[in-house]
Structure 1
Amino acid sequence: MYPLTINHWLTQHAQFRPNHLAFVFDDTRLTFAELNRSVNRMANALRAVGIGKGDKVATVLPNSRELYEAFWAVAKLGAVLVPMSPMVRGRGLINLLNDADSGLVLTDSAHASFLDEVRNELIIPATNYWLTDGEQSNWQSYAALGEAASPEEPPTLDLSGDDLYNIMYSSGTTGLPKGIMHSHFVRSMYGTLFANAYRIRPESVIMHSGSIVFNGAMLTFMPAMFIGCTYVLMKEFSVQPVLQTLASEGVTHTILVPTQIASCLRYPEFTISKMPAIEYILSVGAPLLSEQKEELIRRFPNTFYELYGLTEGFMTVLDKTVSAEKTGSVGRPIWFSEMKIVDDEGLELPTGEVGEIIGRAPFLTSGYYKKPALTADALRNGWLYTGDLGYIDNDGYLFLAGRKKDLIISGGVNVYPKDIEEIIIRHPSVAEVAVFGVPHPDWGETPVAAVRLVAEVSIRELKDWTNQHIEARYQKISAMMLLDEFPKNVAGKVLKNELQERYSAMRKW
């Protein structure tokens, strides 16, 4: 049987579509032939220092040409990529790099000092610290190593779909980060199934402005290479450059997290008339509140998609053809995937009842690296237990109720933060909101809302307005906290545990 692996994708495009624009980053514009030669140089440079099948190559890099090429160079060698957030510091670097058994690390001059501080505690060989820019003592210059390496194809490997391709570390919102493993087969499924779900074609132009070290980026990253279309990578998300690039590059597909969508919606030029090539805007990473979703659909008719999913591998997609009709939903499972809503005993619940979302799909992780107990808890009889709450409507569409750990139980009644957030965001002065539970002497827990404002309103007035619009007594918020900026992880998710800690600290003053 032909192996479902990704190591040959770039090679094939370089052979059959050599002059098609493959990759854009800043002033760099590479055809598939040019990109393939550059990736081969990296692969051969890695091979020259002993990196081969199964060896772990870690990156501590922001979005860059080198980070992008590392994904494909490692694939050609059968090695394993460990893309790490460049925001990680100190003990976090030690824990992650050693947990992954990293054999080499690729970074830049802006982050080298953080690695130097912990180098004595890392297992990486002394010669395998590579710097993508400039020169520093004790660091190998990747520019020199790559220039000296051959642009020819490295030797063909005997790879199977089960071979490990990457380890992606979780964002750490629920404790110590876990290394989530994805095989070549899993990434092949990302390439094929999501290209289909998102109508990506060889003529498409995909832009990504978030960090590609996060799994959400793979939703278009893998289809772009599988299909062989143009991939435009931004250094980082900033509204004006993003809007300009969407228009100037004729971008057809882009991913934005809800906070980025909210930022873009403040600009009147963020509309289909200014960006007529757009066919697809995907919201991913956290639930997009209904008011923002409705405004986005008004500005970009028949282009909005939403995805709910976990790095571990279960996903649902809300297709553009039903996004206006099913505004509150995050879609349904795509091909070859299944979903259930279960109670605490694992028994399936009827339509309309809230319970834990579990799913299975051909892109499920094989587990957490070196953590069999955690793997066994998350993956049970082939089903991924997500820890998220939701319900399914009569048409089979999923509606989220929130994280299981974020559920507020007030007076014995379940209170879902998202229901309250949907109300508060409707106030014209509110730009961002997060609802969380705090201890209450009589009710056990009570809801509190943190808000970021764009127009002046008193907290008392906003709290009263909110509770007037909330029908159920047990959902009424007991307090509000005003913030200039929300605490978020590097993937853009609001850290509700930090909000709880801030609120508790305020109460002690």
Structure 2
Amino acid sequence: MYPLTINHWLTQHAQFRPNHLAFVFGDIRLTFADLNQSVNRMANALLIAGIGKGDKVATVLPNSRELYEAFWAVAKLGAVLVPMSPLLRGNGLINLLNDADSTVVLTDTAHAPFLDEVRSELTIPAKNYWLTDGEQPGWQSYAVLWRTASPADPPSPDLLGDDLYNIMYSSGTTGTPKGIMHSHFVRSMYGSLFANAFRIKPESAIMHSGAIVFNGAMLTFMPAMFIGCTYILLKEFTTQSVIRTIASEGVTHTILVPTQIASCLHYPEFTIDTLPTIEYILSVGAPLLNEQKEVLISRFPDTFYELYGLTEGFITVLDKTVSAEKTGSVGRPIWFSEMKIVDDDGHERPTGEVGEIIGRAPFLMAGYYKKPALTNEALRNGWLYTGDLGYVDQDGYLFLAGRKKDLIISGGVNVYPKDIEEIIIRHPAVAEVAVFGIPHDDWGETPVAAIRLTTTISITELTDWANKNIEARYQKIAAVMLVDEFPKNVAGKILKNELRERYWKR
């Protein structure tokens, strides 16, 4: 059987479409021929340093040309990429770099000091600290290594689809970050299945403004290379750069998280009339509240997709053809995937009833790196237990109810924070809201709403308005806590545990 691996994708595009624009980053514009030669130099530099099949190559880099090329250089060698968040510090760096058994690490001058601080605790060989944008004592100059390496294709490793390609560390919302293992086959499925689901073509122009160290970026990153279209990477997200780049590059596809969508909607030029090339806007990372979803769909008809998924490998997609009529849903499983809603005993729940979402798909992780017990807990008989709550309607579309651990049980009744958040966000003074439970002497738990405002309003007025619009008595909020900014992890998800701690410390 022919192995489904990704190590030859770039080589093939360089052979058959050498002059097509492949990669844009700021002023850098590379054709597939240019990109292939540059990636080959990185791969050969790693090869000279002793990196081969199965060796772990870690990065601590923001969005950059070097980070982008590392994904494809490592693929050509059969090595394993471990992209780390550049926001990691101290023990976070020590724990993850050592847990991954990293052999080499690439970083830049802005982040090198944080690695220098913990070098004595790391197991990486001293000669394998590479600096991508300068020269410093104790660091290898990547620019020198790259210039002296060959631009020819490195020797092809003997790879199978099950061979490990990357380890993505979880954001840690549920405890210590875990190394999620993805094989070449899994990334092949990302490339082919999501190119299909998102209608990506060789003529498409994909823009990404979030950090590509997170798995959500792979939803278009892998299809872009699989199909061979143009991939435009921004250094970081700003509303102005997103709108400007869509216009100047003729962007057809882009991913935005809900907070970015909310920011863009403040700009009247963020509309299909001003940005006519857009065919696809995907919301990922957290549920997009229905009010914001409706505004986005009105501005960009027939372009909005929403996705629910885990790095561990189960994903549903709400297609643009049904996004207007299924605005509360996050879609359905894509091809070759299955989903069930189950109770605590694993029995399937009826249509319309809330339970835990479990799924199986051809892009499930191989497991958590060096954590077999946690792997066995998450993967049971081929099904991924997500820890998320939801229900399906009569058409089989998934509706989220929140994290299982965020469920509030008030007076014996299940209260789903998202139901309350959907109501409170409708108030014109509310910019963001997160609902969590606190202990209550009579009811067991009761809901509290943390709110970020757009304008001044009294807590009493806001609480009264919310409880007037919340119909069910057990859903009514006991208190409102105003915050200037929400605590979020590196993936942009609101940390409700921290909000709960803040509430008690007031």
Q: TM-score range by the shorter chain?
A: over 0.9
- Superposed displacement of residue 456, structure 1: 1.9
- Superposed displacement of residue 157, structure 1: 1.2
- Opposite residue 451 of structure 1, the aligned amino acid is I
Corresponding residue of 1:63:
63
Q: Give the 5 Å matches for 1:177-192.
A: 177-192=177-192
Q: Give the 5 Å matches for 1:111-260.
A: 111-260=111-260
- Opposite residue 332 of structure 2, the aligned amino acid is R
Structure 1, unmatched stretches of 5+, are: none
Separation in structure 2 between the aligned mates of residue 169 and residue 116 of structure 1, nearest angstrom? 22
Corresponding residue of 2:446:
446
Separation in structure 2 between the aligned mates of residue 235 and residue 436 of structure 1, nearest angstrom? 34
- Opposite residue 416 of structure 2, the aligned amino acid is Y
Separation in structure 2 between the aligned mates of residue 320 and residue 96 of structure 1, nearest angstrom? 38
Q: Give the 5 Å matches for 1:349-498.
A: 349-498=349-498
Per-residue CA deviation, residues 142-174 of structure 1 (Å, 9 max, x unaligned), is 000000000000001110000000000000111
- Superposed displacement of residue 211, structure 1: 0.2
Per-residue CA deviation, residues 284-335 of structure 1 (Å, 9 max, x unaligned), is 0000000000000000000000000000000000000000000000000000
Separation in structure 2 between the aligned mates of residue 378 and residue 112 of structure 1, nearest angstrom? 35
SS at match of 2:449: strand
- Opposite residue 292 of structure 1, the aligned amino acid is Q
Corresponding residue of 1:48:
48
Separation in structure 2 between the aligned mates of residue 242 and residue 346 of structure 1, nearest angstrom? 44
SS at match of 1:82: strand
Corresponding residue of 2:98:
98
Separation in structure 2 between the aligned mates of residue 389 and residue 345 of structure 1, nearest angstrom? 14
- Opposite residue 291 of structure 1, the aligned amino acid is E
- Superposed displacement of residue 2, structure 1: 1.2
Separation in structure 2 between the aligned mates of residue 409 and residue 352 of structure 1, nearest angstrom? 19
Separation in structure 1 between the aligned mates of residue 64 and residue 442 of structure 2, nearest angstrom? 53
Is residue 499 from structure 1 mapped to residue 499 from structure 2 by the alignment? yes
- Superposed displacement of residue 455, structure 1: 1.8
Separation in structure 2 between the aligned mates of residue 460 and residue 219 of structure 1, nearest angstrom? 43
Separation in structure 1 between the aligned mates of residue 386 and residue 322 of structure 2, nearest angstrom? 25
- Opposite residue 202 of structure 1, the aligned amino acid is P
Per-residue CA deviation, residues 378-403 of structure 1 (Å, 9 max, x unaligned), is 00000000000000100000000000
Corresponding residue of 2:35:
35
- Opposite residue 23 of structure 2, the aligned amino acid is F
- Opposite residue 286 of structure 2, the aligned amino acid is A
Separation in structure 2 between the aligned mates of residue 53 and residue 201 of structure 1, nearest angstrom? 31
- Superposed displacement of residue 457, structure 1: 1.4
Separation in structure 1 between the aligned mates of residue 505 and residue 445 of structure 2, nearest angstrom? 17
- Opposite residue 431 of structure 2, the aligned amino acid is A
Aligned Cα root-mean-square deviation (Å): 0.5
- Superposed displacement of residue 356, structure 1: 0.1
> Which region of structure 1 is more displaced relative to structure 2, 58-67 or 457-466?
457-466
- Superposed displacement of residue 449, structure 1: 0.4
Separation in structure 2 between the aligned mates of residue 433 and residue 104 of structure 1, nearest angstrom? 41
Separation in structure 1 between the aligned mates of residue 145 and residue 439 of structure 2, nearest angstrom? 57
Corresponding residue of 2:3:
3
Corresponding residue of 1:79:
79
Per-residue CA deviation, residues 223-242 of structure 1 (Å, 9 max, x unaligned), is 00000000000001111111
- Opposite residue 299 of structure 1, the aligned amino acid is R
SS at match of 2:450: strand
- Superposed displacement of residue 184, structure 1: 0.0
Separation in structure 2 between the aligned mates of residue 207 and residue 431 of structure 1, nearest angstrom? 26
Separation in structure 2 between the aligned mates of residue 372 and residue 153 of structure 1, nearest angstrom? 36
- Opposite residue 183 of structure 1, the aligned amino acid is S
Corresponding residue of 1:275:
275
- Superposed displacement of residue 354, structure 1: 0.3
For these two proteins, the number of residue pairs brought into alignment is 506
- Opposite residue 491 of structure 2, the aligned amino acid is A
- Opposite residue 95 of structure 1, the aligned amino acid is N
> Which region of structure 1 is more displaced relative to structure 2, 203-212 or 451-460?
451-460
Separation in structure 2 between the aligned mates of residue 498 and residue 7 of structure 1, nearest angstrom? 42
Structure 2, unmatched stretches of 5+, are: none
Corresponding residue of 1:107:
107
- Superposed displacement of residue 134, structure 1: 1.0
- Opposite residue 270 of structure 1, the aligned amino acid is F
Separation in structure 1 between the aligned mates of residue 442 and residue 88 of structure 2, nearest angstrom? 41
- Superposed displacement of residue 74, structure 1: 0.1
SS at match of 2:110: helix
- Opposite residue 124 of structure 2, the aligned amino acid is I
SS at match of 1:480: strand
Separation in structure 2 between the aligned mates of residue 497 and residue 142 of structure 1, nearest angstrom? 41
Separation in structure 1 between the aligned mates of residue 460 and residue 87 of structure 2, nearest angstrom? 37
- Superposed displacement of residue 272, structure 1: 0.5
